[in-house]
Structure 1
Amino acid sequence: MARTGQTETHQHDTARTERLRQAMQHLENGGFAQARAIVEPLCDDRRADIILAHALAGCGRSARAARMLCRLAQDNPTARHPAQDMMTLLLRHSRLEEIETTLHATLRQTPNDIRLYDQLGEFLLLHARTEEAIEVLVEGCRRHPSALRTGNLLAVTQNETGEAHKAQALLRHLLTYHPQSAMTHANLAHILTIDNKVDEALHHHAQALALRPDDPHIHLNHAMTLLKAGRHADGWPEYEWRLRIPGRLKYPPERLLPTLNQDGKLTGQRILILSEAGLGDMLMYLRFVPALIRRGARVTLQVPREILPLAARIYGVERVIDPLRPVPAHDWHCPFGSLPRVLAQTSDIIGAPVPYLQADPHKVLAWADYMPPRPGLRVGLVWGGASRPGVAQAQAIDRKRSMNLVQLACLSTIPGLYLVNLQRGQHARQMTDIPDGMQLYDPMDDVHDMDDTAAIIMNLDIVVSVDTSIVHLAGALGRPVIMMDRYDNCWRWQSGQEDSQWYPHLRIVRQSRPGAWDGVVARVHDLLQAATIRHTAPMH
């Protein structure tokens, strides 16, 4: 009889496990009602309850789902809240309303559970509801002043909305409770760098690295601070830590091109330079390619099609391929961003002098017919960056570096000046509602790639742009550029200066405080007005 009972128990357990597996499969496929129907009759245990809570949330039964999630959370008060897995699951099926309703219901039932403030705040931030997220996180910090994760999330959010001083104060407050928090030191260092407080930032980077010496993300932010401070000899080797982030280094590390000394030769060595980062970064790093060729390297460049013709025109390059093509046999590989490290101990630490890129002379002549008449000053204009959908950090930067076309309307009032559109992408749509009285020549419908844009730039007198790849393109071509820069500028433009070691014909006009474009535009107006007077003055 005992053996029969054991067999029946085993069969019951096997059947139960199979039903739970089926219910879980339905959840993964978005079949919330089917999962609920399978799991609801089963006796209570943690696994069944988790599946049922997720199914109820997906079916819109938020109150009951919240009760179950709260009960499950109470069993493990220091673990991740089960509502986190619910949110992750429902996000995959775009059940946004169900997620938000369930999170609010769960928070109402356990208003002192700090984990829920984090989750609701993250959900709201994910969907660009920043002000609501800040309200939720502020309430969480009010209830739990020492909450580490909540405070860091709030500080990072405050910084993104231009409240850097609040963010710094909050992180310093958290360090009084958690002086050994590497995350808090690292976030404070990052925000101080953005606010151009480089020395203090380096101090907190050192604290974070002492606590987590093998964290590649902390090393990467440390590198950005060093480079912004102009400490290239320290910054470029530190920047190599980005390649330790999972998925960043796609080829064998033992074949990564080593650092060269001044007399280092690469005679006959096949070097594959790998596409990396954005177009602007690659246009800037192309300046280092001639130094490899002078050392005897046989260079293959892997670049996006957008800049392929420009890269192919660099003297001595053996082959140029786009990232979709198979890579050729090679002796060494090197991502674009590692080129400065390779040459950091040589006289080529800044790379080739400008111009190191050349426009197609035939295209330059062809595009001349599209230009405004002489003797007016021809000014190319870019007011927005290229945001990358789905990349939250890139979108946040794009919001800060871009402006609206209407903010530049005063430039069209300068006598003898002609504005030429160089803007592409989503920001170009603003031309459908161009400011009254503003005239903007627009050749971009016939532009296919940056080779066309380069030819247009060679027909211009000045390029005026926010911090985009066009700044690098015009700078690499040796053309005059006025860059309208955000307050929390990119490392390569350093701080407290109007010129650049990378592009000698670049003039930087930077915001005096986050988001303040009026002063920038007024200064650009004055610079262009003076340039127009010089350009159109009669010869004596």
Structure 2
Amino acid sequence: MAQDSHDERVAPGAQTILHPSCTTRPVGDLDISDIVASADAEFGVRRLEKAVELYQIVLRNCPDHSHALHRLALAAVHGNRFDEAQTYIESALRVAPDNAELWEHAGLIAASRGAYGRAEICYQRAIRIAGGTVTLHRNLGDCLLLSGRSLEAREQYLRVIALEPQLHHANRALAQICEQFGDNVGSANYWDHAWKLNPADPLDGISLITALAKVGRSKRLEEVVDEMKRRFADNVPALERLAFVLYKHYLHTEALDVIRHGLIVAPRSAPLHHYAALTLGVCGRAEESLSHSMEAVRLWPENLEMQYHLAGLELARGEFKEGWKRHKAIYALPNPELVIPLGIQEWNGEPLEGCEILLVGEQGDGDKIQCIRFAEWLSAQGARIDLLVTGRLAGIFASMKCIRAVYSSTAPAGQYDYWTYLMKIPEYMGLEVSMLPAVTIPYLFPTPEKVHHWRSRLDSMSTPPGNVKGLRIGVAWAGRARYIWDRFRSIQLDLFKPLFSSPETSWYSVQKGPRETESEALANEFDIHTLGPLIDDFMDTLAILETLDLLITVDTSVAHLAGAAGRPVWVLVPAYAQWRWLGDRTDTPWYPSMRVFRQRELDHWEPVIEEVRQALLEIRYEGNS
């Protein structure tokens, strides 16, 4: 319940309703009314122990004294004795069933005990007796909200606002309800009003910034950020939260500004160093990110998220020994998608000669395709290998001779000596950059039947049918939208138009997912064919790649698929580039057939597309020379 509700329930001056026989009955030299007056005086100055003693005297002489029962209930609430308070307030209601204040306070007591159904009944009874008041509608709204009935609570808070528009609590509650139901505009409006009424709580400011970011009110957002920096200039926890929410909403310039100020105030703040590392990393400023990440880990070595971020930076620098060891922090972080086989010992680098081991796929499809190569190394150590992986990858992984069986739902009942995640293997094999690709390329193969099927199909699509002159290039422009950084790696298809204009080139979209049909709109303008709806699984995609001269793609699983198959592939990576693409280089030792085109400034893809266009012209020139 709201704090101001608690204050209201102990307000002095409650209506006194007495049983007729209690009004003048003497107690020694005093009348009941004199003792009540003394008790009320003690209660008013919060000397509750003395007040309770006097009210008890009243009850011994007049058991139906509703005012004494009421005050004893409130005193019990102050002592957190809610069962006792419930007993007193129910007794008072039996004496004075038409007292709206008693019903309201009965509701507050019931709600404090978690009895929200009883509390609702009490508040509704009080409203029927006294009509709607600010406190009654507010408290009923709180009760409904705590009961999970947010829309009904919303109606009560709207009634509060109609009676008292400046009530901070109601505006704040309405903001949270709008946020819950996806009403971003309503949430932003109510948070803004609540913040203007009482800008003392930094968490309210954080909520307002989040709401403003969702509706794109950048000018107001900047004003609130500036106000928070001024108001909480020396409040390190508030600055840490502010930096994080700005980073989370991709407001990198603003986040770095807050971080710089915060580090002046608190140079040993591990969270600020961590958020600096995250923000700088996303912006492609790897060296600056590294220094902050190292400092964050030094200050807070137990923090697993900080350890994991530093691991990525170390791997990107080719510092594999330190990076793979630190990378294990990810397995201690909450992740409901991680499969943990039960009843099998986890492998920690023990000798594998003659052992049976179950490999478990993890993280994204691209990660699995990249790291399944390590099964070859395990096989060379004498292990017999089974694999547990998502169904869409099962077919292509079954093409690897070193894997005995692939399971896509649950592990078989057979006995294994060990199990391990794919991405734990590099640490124990002592993987170094010089050992890459650490497997013979290709290590994934399409079936001949699939290749024949798709070659014939693509031949029939060419113009005229059967024409195989010119280049056949595959294209994919988007990754899976649920990936946290997808907004930076995926590209709007229209930006590819300068490439689609290349002469004597046919384009084949292997894009899958919600955006797979976008290329259909360009079919009348360019020689582009949409294959996505026809592709059933990765084996289809693998066979299609076998028939193409080149694949041009963003950083998603199909890039790994082409690289693992040894097919020519150009991958466009954003400025924040993941660890797997290493440093500022145009090739990658993971996939010898791959060329990397790097974004220099976050969200600026046009220069990258132009670089790719020039590279295509060079291919055309070399082919004609």
Q: TM-score, normalised by structure 1?
A: 0.82
**1:377 matched residue in structure 2:** 471
Does 1:168 pair with 2:268? no
Q: Structure 2 residue aligned with 1:437, among 513, 516, 525?
A: 525
1:18 CA displacement? 4.4
How many Å separate the matches in 1 of 2:426 and 2:387? 16
How many residue pairs get aligned? The number is 510
**1:117 matched residue in structure 2:** 205
1:320 match: secondary structure: strand
Q: 1:445 to 1:194 in 2, by over 3 A?
A: closer
Larger CA deviation: 35-44 vs 274-283 = 35-44
Does 1:289 pair with 2:388? no
Q: Deviations over 1:308-346 (max 9, x none)?
A: 101111112122111466675433221222222232268
Does 1:338 pair with 2:338? no
**2:605 matched residue in structure 1:** 517
Is the 1:162–1:515 contact (alpha carbons within 8 Å) kept by the matching residues of 2?
Answer: no
Q: 1:478 to 1:8 in 2, by over 3 A?
A: closer
Larger CA deviation: 107-116 vs 309-318 = 107-116
1:64 CA displacement? 3.8
1:464 match: secondary structure: strand
Q: Deviations over 1:34-64 (max 9, x none)?
A: 896479799989x968925957862263584
**2:561 matched residue in structure 1:** 473
How many Å separate the matches in 1 of 2:450 and 2:435? 31
How many Å separate the matches in 1 of 2:87 and 2:412? 54
Does 1:365 pair with 2:456? no
1:175 match: secondary structure: helix
Paired amino acid for 1:271: I
Q: Deviations over 1:147-170 (max 9, x none)?
A: 545544554565577764553343
Is the 2:356–2:383 contact (alpha carbons within 8 Å) kept by the matching residues of 1?
Answer: yes
Does 1:303 pair with 2:380? no
2:498 match: secondary structure: helix
Q: 1:292 to 1:98 in 2, by over 3 A?
A: same
1:137 CA displacement? 3.1
How many Å separate the matches in 2 of 1:69 and 1:86? 11
Q: Deviations over 1:165-192 (max 9, x none)?
A: 5533431221111223211011112223
1:21 CA displacement? 5.8
Paired amino acid for 1:204: H
Q: 1:153 to 1:71 in 2, by over 3 A?
A: closer
2:515 match: secondary structure: helix
Long gaps (5+) in structure 2:
1-58, 64-68, 73-82, 91-105
1:233 CA displacement? 0.6
**2:491 matched residue in structure 1:** 403
Paired amino acid for 1:210: R
Does 1:427 pair with 2:515? yes
**1:77 matched residue in structure 2:** none
Q: 1:400 to 1:147 in 2, by over 3 A?
A: farther
**2:157 matched residue in structure 1:** 61
Is the 1:417–1:532 contact (alpha carbons within 8 Å) kept by the matching residues of 2?
Answer: no
1:231 CA displacement? 0.7
**Which of these two proteins has the greater Rg computed from alpha carbons?**
2
Q: Deviations over 1:77-107 (max 9, x none)?
A: xxxxx95x88667655556666444423321
1:318 match: secondary structure: strand
Larger CA deviation: 139-148 vs 473-482 = 139-148
Fraction of identical pairs, as percent: 24
Is the 1:23–1:39 contact (alpha carbons within 8 Å) kept by the matching residues of 2?
Answer: no
**2:289 matched residue in structure 1:** 201
How many Å separate the matches in 1 of 2:577 and 2:554? 11
Alignment of 1:55-454 (within 5 A): 58-59=154-155, 61=157, 64=160, 70=168, 83=172, 91-92=179-180, 99-125=187-213, 127=214, 129=216, 131=218, 133=221, 136-148=224-236, 151-152=239-240, 155-156=243-244, 164=252, 166-247=254-335, 250-251=340-341, 255-259=345-349, 265-323=351-409, 329-344=415-430, 350-371=437-458, 372=462, 373-388=467-482, 394-395=483-484, 397-434=485-522, 437-454=525-542
Is the 1:162–1:514 contact (alpha carbons within 8 Å) kept by the matching residues of 2?
Answer: no
Paired amino acid for 2:440: P
1:463 match: secondary structure: strand
Larger CA deviation: 138-147 vs 297-306 = 138-147
How many Å separate the matches in 1 of 2:522 and 2:363? 32
Is the 2:357–2:383 contact (alpha carbons within 8 Å) kept by the matching residues of 1?
Answer: yes
Long gaps (5+) in structure 1:
28-32, 73-81, 389-393
How many Å separate the matches in 1 of 2:428 and 2:126? 59
Q: 1:413 to 1:97 in 2, by over 3 A?
A: closer
Q: 1:325 to 1:273 in 2, by over 3 A?
A: closer
How many Å separate the matches in 2 of 1:39 and 1:292? 74
Q: 1:158 to 1:436 in 2, by over 3 A?
A: farther
Paired amino acid for 1:243: Y
Q: 1:148 to 1:324 in 2, by over 3 A?
A: farther
How many Å separate the matches in 1 of 2:113 and 2:394? 51
Is the 1:100–1:120 contact (alpha carbons within 8 Å) kept by the matching residues of 2?
Answer: yes
Instruction: Note the aligned Cα RMSD (angstroms).
Output: 3.8
Is the 1:134–1:154 contact (alpha carbons within 8 Å) kept by the matching residues of 2?
Answer: no
1:405 CA displacement? 1.5
Q: Deviations over 1:352-396 (max 9, x none)?
A: 1321111112101110012243121111111111111xxxxx24x
Q: Deviations over 1:269-314 (max 9, x none)?
A: 2222223111111110111111111212222212111111011111
Paired amino acid for 1:108: K
**1:391 matched residue in structure 2:** none
Paired amino acid for 1:113: D
How many Å separate the matches in 2 of 1:254 and 1:328? 10
Q: Deviations over 1:94-139 (max 9, x none)?
A: 56666444423321211343321112223445x4647365554344
Paired amino acid for 2:154: G
Paired amino acid for 2:442: P
1:406 CA displacement? 1.4
1:476 CA displacement? 0.4
Paired amino acid for 2:486: D
1:488 CA displacement? 1.5
Q: 1:118 to 1:157 in 2, by over 3 A?
A: closer
Paired amino acid for 1:219: Q
Paired amino acid for 2:306: I
